[in-house]
């Protein structure tokens, strides 16, 4: 795979189509290795590693290869059953993310006045994408300190002048009680 990667990285790129083919070739190579790994794992454990699709979706052998790979990855994570929309959404995310990374890497290569995309360009694109899209959750200590600093201030009481004055219960219709009786059957004989 390294030879293939080096061959693809250090040849001149001629636009988005070449980047797309490069991305697809890398995804296919990773997919092939994943499929081989899962086949070996299936042979050792004797279990099918692809989750079942919920609902009547027909034959799973008709799915595209990338969808089968996503399905196998989900099964390896312990997800036994999922809706087909989940796999489609994960495929869409993978394609958008990898296309975005490759386009960013191409922009970095052009900024360096180079027509070839290097591994450094791809690494930089991945780092910037991950720092923009995947924000880490704040630590529990930070959340606790923020909550304490906000909660130590008492709530302000509203001024009596700014309150809406509600009329007393007897003067408004909302204070009356109504009882609903059954309709008289003699009046309904139209």
pLDDT digits (tens, 9 = 90+) for 7-54: 444 444 444 445 555 556 666 666 556 556 656 656 666 555 555 555
Q: Does the model's pTM come out above 0.85? A: no
Mean of the pLDDT values across residues 107-120? 88
pLDDT of residue 53: 55
Sheet strands (E) in the chain:
52-53, 81-82
User: Which residues have CB under 8 Å from 91's CB, separation 6+?
Assistant: 66, 67, 70
Backbone angles phi, psi at 58, to 5 degrees: 85, -160
Q: Count the neighbouring beta carbons within 10 Å of the beta carbon of residue 98.
A: 19
> Pairing relation of β-strands 81-82 and 52-53?
parallel
């Amino acid at each position: 795979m390294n030879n293939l990667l080096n061959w693809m990285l250090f040849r001149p790129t001629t636009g988005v189509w070449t980047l797309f083919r490069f991305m697809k070739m890398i995804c296919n190579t990773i997919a092939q290795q994943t499929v081989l790994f899962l086949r070996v794992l299936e042979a050792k454990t004797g279990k099918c590693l692809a989750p079942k699709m919920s609902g009547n979706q027909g034959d799973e052998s008709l799915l595209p290869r990338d969808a089968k790979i996503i399905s196998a990855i989900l099964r390896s994570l312990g997800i036994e059953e999922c809706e087909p929309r989940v796999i489609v959404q994960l495929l869409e995310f993978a394609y958008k993310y990898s296309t975005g990374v490759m386009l960013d890497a191409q922009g970095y290569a052009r900024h360096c006045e180079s027509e070839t995309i290097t591994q450094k360009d791809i690494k930089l694109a991945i780092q910037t994408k991950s720092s923009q899209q995947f924000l880490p959750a704040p630590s529990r200590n930070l959340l606790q300190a923020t909550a304490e600093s906000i909660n130590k201030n008492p709530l302000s009481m509203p001024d009596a002048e700014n309150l809406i004055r509600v009329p007393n219960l007897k003067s408004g219709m909302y204070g009356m009680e109504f009882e609903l009786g059954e309709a008289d059957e003699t009046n309904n004989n139209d």
